[in-house]
Structure 1
Amino acid sequence: MTTILGSCVALCLWDSKKGIGGINHFMLPTWSGEGEANPKYGNIAIERLLKMMVRLGARKDQLVAKIFGGSSLITDSLGTYSIGDRNLQLAEQMMREHGIPVVAVESGGNSGRRLIFNTHTGVVLMKKSGKQATP
């Protein structure tokens, strides 16, 4: 599976014993409860990915996580609009809450990333884009 990230975050989950992997890609950290529970929100996307993985036969106690993205591509003059940081914090927090170890993180900075996740082997190839945002 392939995705391209900026301030968005991708969470890759892998069960090595079952050979089952999954990935999501979310734009915003949390759904407010208004409107549709859309997976563009991290809390929705992560729960749906976990449910799908278990449905496919993965065991939650055998999962490991890899987290990517969260670049600072949009900033205001004070640098306070850090949606990428908030997305990363949510992914890490939810992995702690679910007891899933995070075995790799490639995050932050001010350039995009391209990921290729082999869901059969758990291997993630990542390349940073040559373009960098200017603060």
Structure 2
Amino acid sequence: MAEPAGTNIRKHFLFPGATHVDADECEITTVLGSCVAVCLWDQVHGGGGMNHFMLPLWNGEGLATPKYGNIAMERLLEHVLAIGARKQHLVAKVFGGANLLATSSAACPIGARNIELAMTQLEEWRITVAASDLGGHVGRKVIMNTMTGVVLLGRGRPQK
């Protein structure tokens, strides 16, 4: 008997500070608080990926890892283009950047700075943001299908 459609899709859990890209169908899942995840998808040919970054900018010290937004964004675009996606066919979906500490008095919390970095970079690259769910005071679970570009979003409950 044939398996039901969608049961043999590869799955990948994306940890903070990582990037995952796939030319074939894969479900990438991540969980976000103040971190931001950017999903890039080639709307003509399929294939795409997601990053998950914790801090906006690498300061030049230590390793240039994708835990920093400026590094994560560059790596995501580079890897998506390496699987054959065309920049002019890319669309983005952006999630996260919550301020989970509702009582925080920080002038510019990390989540807001992460959002600003992601959105500014996408604008500079002229990549359309097709969907977003940003800021607020709740965490999110994001699941992206790299072939269809569909993203499922779950939101946490506000802290009391």
**What band does the TM-score fall into relative to the shorter chain?**
over 0.9
Which of 35, 39, 60 aligns to 2:66? It is: 39
Q: Which has the higher helix share?
A: 1
Which of 116, 119, 123 aligns to 1:96? It is: 123
The residue number in structure 2 matching 1:121 is 148
Do the aligned partners of 1:22 and 1:49 also contact (CA within 8 Å) in 2? yes
For 2:139, give the aligned amino acid. Answer: G
TM normalised by structure 1 equals 0.93
Q: Work out whether 1:112 is the aligned partner of 2:146.
A: no
Between the aligned partners of 2:53 and 2:101, the Cα distance in structure 1 is 16
Q: Taking every aligned residue pair, what percent have the same amino acid on both sides?
A: 54
Structure with greater Cα Rg: 2
3-state SS of 1:125 partner: strand
Q: For residues 36-75 of structure 1, what are the structure 2 equivalents within 5 Å?
A: 36-74=63-101
Between the aligned partners of 1:88 and 1:68, the Cα distance in structure 2 is 8
Q: Which one has more relative contact order, counting CA pairs under 8 Å at least 6 apart?
A: 1
TM normalised by structure 2 equals 0.79
Unaligned runs of 5+ in 2: 1-27
Do the aligned partners of 1:26 and 1:45 also contact (CA within 8 Å) in 2? yes
Do the aligned partners of 2:96 and 2:111 also contact (CA within 8 Å) in 1? yes
Unaligned runs of 5+ in 1: none
Between the aligned partners of 2:103 and 2:55, the Cα distance in structure 1 is 17
3-state SS of 2:88 partner: helix
Do the aligned partners of 1:12 and 1:65 also contact (CA within 8 Å) in 2? yes
Do the aligned partners of 2:102 and 2:137 also contact (CA within 8 Å) in 1? no
